[in-house]
Amino acid sequence: MTDMTDTTEATGRDAASRLARISLEKIIELQDPSGAYLASPTFSAYKGYAWFRDGAFTADAVSSAGEVASPNRFFDWCARAILDRAAHIEEIIAAAEAGRPLPDAEMLPARFRLDGSTGDDDWWDFQLDGYGTWLWAVVAHTERHGVDAARWGTAIDLTARYLLSSWQRPCFDWWEESTEQVHVSTLGCIAAGLGRVAESGALEVEVGSRARAATNEIRALITTSGLAEGGLAKWLGSSATDASLLALIAPLELIEATSAIGLSTIARVARDLSFEGGVHRYLLDSFYGGGQWPLLSCMLGLAYNAAGDRDSALAFLAWAVGTEGPSGSLPEQVPNHLLAPEVRDSWLEKWGPVANPLVWSHAMFLKLSIELGVFPLGSDA
Ligand code: BGC
């Protein structure tokens, strides 16, 4: 007789594996000829745009799935976006070093058109995290596949020096909000990028040692002023948590999952932001009514898995499978449990239905499936 639990588990694994395969295919199919991973092909506010943040996590997942060409093309696109702005970046660095930092509006953008240019409508553009995340992802990719980082050397150097000049500044966070704060997840993305690139030898010696020093300084700042209840806090001095902080545990590996800070961060996000497997961004979120984000459930799964709790990780993966829409598409968020239901309609009127598919959701689903050995099937750890 077949054990029911085994059968249910195997069915769940098959469903997840199938969705991970669809995710990989979708990401590659939707990659623009320019190399950009567009955020969402249909959603009104994202259509025609790409972010370093979404794209770097997407490239990392695709690279982890064994693909080399697609991430290479994305990193080429990032490098072009940086090199096109080289003179401007040097100006930003010189102004910061002279003690006269340029205003936020003159810093690098977060959202790019697919040809690498900056959009001309207003956006919450000054965000630093994506620049750290692309550094982290490009180095991880070169090390994983033995690709020569020299291909992106000049852009890596410019990005590292941009971050070194400006990492202390308040800016918009992952959610493009609260520009007056210094966000712990932003700091973590910067430290993960600078730290990884400093160790890789891709930087010239002097820049490398500055990058190493800044990484240590950021770590010290986070672990003194960036904690609440022993876990990572939403911003320096805040007592709230935020699901973006999970990325610092996994996949960025800046904070050890089993450390006291890692475990407290996971526990707080699980307690405050997870409801029946669906993870909210933060408690006061009202974007589309503040629903649950599959990509964040996958990040919580990654953190649990890194802490050795594979069963919890599998449960979050299973929850994400449940958000699958027509033809295997994964949305940005689902409205099953809303934090601010009263404002959902106003967002629907403003921007139309929620982004679906959201490429980044597919990427985090793929990454967790790979980490759990669910994809490719038969690679069970
Ligand atoms: C999110 C960003 C994301 C962008 C594109 C925004 O709504 O807040 O984190 O980069 O969508 O997916």
Lowest mean pLDDT among 1-10, 143-152, 262-271, 278-287: 1-10
Banded pLDDT at 2 (limits 50, 70, 90): very low
| Best residue for ligand 1 mutational test, from 296, 358, 360 (most atoms within 8 Å of Cβ) | 360
In ligand 1, which atom is closest to the CA atom of 174? 9
Backbone dihedral angles phi then psi of residue 225, each to the nearest 5 degrees: -105, 0
Is residue 173 annotated as a catalytic residue, yes or no?
A: yes
Which one-letter DSSP state was computed for residue 35? Answer: S
Expressed in angstroms and rounded, the spacing between residue 40 Cα and the centre of ligand 1 is: 10
Q: Which of 54, 60, 125, 176 is catalytic?
A: 176
Task: Report whether 248 contacts 186 (CB < 8 A).
Answer: no
pTM over 0.95: yes
Phi and psi at residue 228, in whole multiples of 5°?
-145, 135
Greatest C-alpha distance within the chain: 75
pLDDT band at 5; cut points 50, 70, 90: low
* pLDDT at position 1 over 70: no
Question: What mean pLDDT is reported for the chain?
Answer: 96
For ligand 1, pick from 44, 176, 244 the residue to mutate: most ligand atoms within 8 Å of CB: 176
Q: At residue 116, does pLDDT exceed 70?
A: yes
Is 256 tagged catalytic? no
Residue 375: band (very low, low, confident or very high) from pLDDT cuts 50, 70, 90: very high
Amino acid at 266: I
Residue ID of nearest Cα to ligand 1 atom 6 = 175
Q: What is the pLDDT of residue 9?
A: 75
The pLDDT-based confidence of 179 (bands split at 50, 70, 90) is very high
Q: How far does residue 10's CA lie from ligand 1's centre (Å)?
A: 34
176 ligand 1 Cβ < 6 A: yes
pLDDT score for 11:
77
Which contacts of 270-276 are long-range, i.e. CB under 8 A and separated by 24 or more positions?
A: 270/300, 272/241, 273/241, 273/242, 273/243, 274/300, 275/337, 276/319, 276/336, 276/337
CA of 354 to the centre of ligand 1 (A): 12
Selected catalytic residue, list 54, 60, 129, 173: 173
Cβ of 39 closer than 6 Å to ligand 1, yes or no, is yes
Nearest-atom number in ligand 1 for the CA of 130 is 10
Structure confidence by residue, pLDDT tens digits, 217-249: 999 999 999 999 999 999 999 999 999 999 999
Which of 54, 111, 131, 133 for mutating ligand 1's site (highest number of atoms within 8 Å of CB)?
54
CA–CA separation, 203 and 11 (whole Å): 47
Q: Distance between CA 17 and CA 380 in Å, rounded?
A: 11
What tens digit of pLDDT does each residue of 310-339 get? 999 999 999 999 999 989 999 999 999 999
53 Cβ inside 6 Å of ligand 1: yes
- How many whole angstroms from 270 Cα to the centroid of ligand 1? 22
Other CB atoms within a 10 A radius of the CB of residue 226 amount to: 27
